[in-house]
A = this chain, B = another copy of it.
Amino acid sequence: MLLRRFYDDKLAQASYMIGCQATGEAVVVDPHRDTDVYLEAAAAEGMEIRYVTETHIHADFLSGSRQLARRTGALLLLSAEGGQDWQYAFADEDGAGLLRDGDTIEMGKVTLKALHTPGHTPEHLSFTVTDGAASAEPLGVLTGDFLFVGDVGRPDLLEKAAGVAGTMAAGAKTLWQSLERFKELPDYLQILPGHGAGSACGKALGSVPSSTLGYEKLVNWAFQCADEEEFVRKVLEDQPEPPAYFASMKRMNRDGPAVLDRLPEPVQLVPDVLTARLREGATVVDVRSRGDFASGHLPGTVNIPWGADFTNWAGWLLPYDTPIYFVAYDHEHARAAARDLVMIGIDRSVGFAPPEVLDWWTGSVAPVERTTVIDWEEAERALDGEDPVLLDVRSLTEWNEGHVPGAEHIHLGSLPERAEELDPDRPTLVYCRSGNRSAIGASLLQAAGFKDVRNIEGGIQAREAVHS
């Protein structure tokens, strides 16, 4: 048997290829849209992708299942569970097979069996994996977003993100039922989840790629709950606000995600063309580091550095329906940013200009714009004398855990809509935890016409270091 895990760091998402080496048949479960990686792996392993399936309708990335099935000619298999009102809309069009609890996918001696495990979503399936060459018993379960290492999938997204009212509490209850069902399964089963947790070692299991059912029974908080009531209360409390783009994602994944032949290849634009687009109101994202952006950038551009959180903030802040342009270090850099946007369904990355566009701008138009970067000492001097706004762009949870006295709070993801609550003529000092998000926020305010925006480098972390 072949079992291979694909982990995308930007999405913190795991997909799996499972197959029988004797017959060369494989299934891919929960593929993302950079589908080349599955083809390359199949070629290297000598496997043919015969089936493509997914555990559920994803909210946090655009599914690559449809695209991979079309590219390979594989049979697409989609959940038929979850009730009439919440079904995949493109199953017929794509000639997909439908999966119900107990259905199996068979490749040589390897079998995946679907278990209906609703809660995170109504149609959610898990898949037990059995290597018949070794035993008739399964060796593990692909649990998708039902059961994580040390946690469970949140049941409130459908209501909060997709706006299906009243599903939150019901979801929590069905999730409890799904857990009850899993308590019957043997301890030795491997748990192969759809996401890696980002949590630190002080809380739950952190960055451990997989677990076992016996260990989860021992340590996972959900299995420690005495009854449904306790579980429902706990699973719904303290859930952070879901990103706004989850709603679009869920809808697209249900109705039929767009299919790409290949990743977009942004064309290098001459300065004239890029800046003409910018003046026409196009979205131009500067994906360079925040330090380089602060040194000089085109007025009207937003800075989302290509790095760990790029996909997340792009999802919050970029439009889905219009072309995207980049200022990027070079072709490779622009291509990497375009690839990451595709993961969340932003497919129209059409062009980029290298940093030389800044020299051209200086020479042909005006000096480039800078961002003022200050430390807490300078910030406090300004607070003393200049009556600025002190803006905290962290999450509500972080804000509630403690913030700088006198600050105002707007979550970075809401800043585009809520910037109008602020006075663009007043000096605005922006902070977050480390300086990353506040740099994005400062660029948004500058692009929105705020006259005097300053980013507090180092954020709350630096303040605590200084004050400690």
Show the binding face of A for B, using Cβ within 8 Å. 1-5, 20-22, 24, 36, 39-40, 42-46, 48-49, 71-73, 108-110, 131, 133-135, 137, 139-140, 150, 186-190, 200-215, 217-219, 261-263, 265, 267-273, 289-296, 331, 353-354, 356-357, 359-360, 362-364, 366-367, 370, 372-373, 375, 435, 457-458, 461-462, 465-466
Contact = CB atoms under 8 A, between A and B. Distances in A.
A459 to B, nearest CB: 11
Contacts of A272: 48, 72-73
A357 B43 CA distance: 7
B461 A362 contact: yes
A72 B367 CA distance: 23
Nearest to A129: B208
Given A270-B49, A270-B73, A205 B291 contact: no
Contacts of A466: 367
Given A71-B267, A265-B265, 20 more contacts: A1-B206, A21-B201, A22-B200, A36-B268, A46-B359, A72-B273, A73-B272, A73-B273, A131-B205, A135-B218, A137-B218, A139-B211, A187-B214, A188-B217, A262-B267, A289-B291, A291-B296, A370-B375, A370-B457, A373-B373
A73 B131 CA distance: 44
Contacts of A462: 367
Contacts of A188: 187-188, 212-215, 217-218
A270 B72 contact: yes
25 contacts: A1-B205, A3-B207, A24-B360, A39-B270, A43-B268, A43-B354, A44-B356, A46-B363, A48-B272, A71-B269, A72-B273, A110-B201, A133-B201, A134-B150, A134-B205, A135-B215, A139-B208, A186-B214, A188-B213, A188-B215, A289-B291, A289-B295, A290-B295, A295-B457, A362-B465
Contact of A203 (B133, B207, B289): B133
A108 B201 contact: yes
A21 B207 contact: yes
A202 B22 CA distance: 6
Contacts of A362: 461, 465
A373 B372 CA distance: 7
Contacts of A261: 267
Given A134-B219, A188-B215, A356-B43, A367 B465 contact: yes
B46 A360 contact: yes
A325 to B, nearest CB: 14
Given A139-B211, A262-B265, A20 B465 contact: no
A203 B22 CA distance: 10
Nearest to A132: B201
B270 A48 contact: yes
Contacts of A139: 205, 208, 211-212, 215
Residue of A215, A356, A367 with most chain B CB atoms under a 10 A cut-off: A215
Contacts of A73: 270, 272-273
Contacts of A44: 356
A136 B272 CA distance: 31
Contacts of A367: 458, 462, 465-466
B131 A208 contact: yes
A290 B213 CA distance: 48
Contacts of A210: 190, 210
A18 B97 CA distance: 41
Contacts of A219: 134-135, 137
Contact of A291 (B72, B110, B295, B435): B295
A356 B291 contact: no
B270 A71 contact: yes
B271 A48 contact: yes
A465 to B, nearest CB: 5
A337 B273 CA distance: 29
A308 B348 CA distance: 34
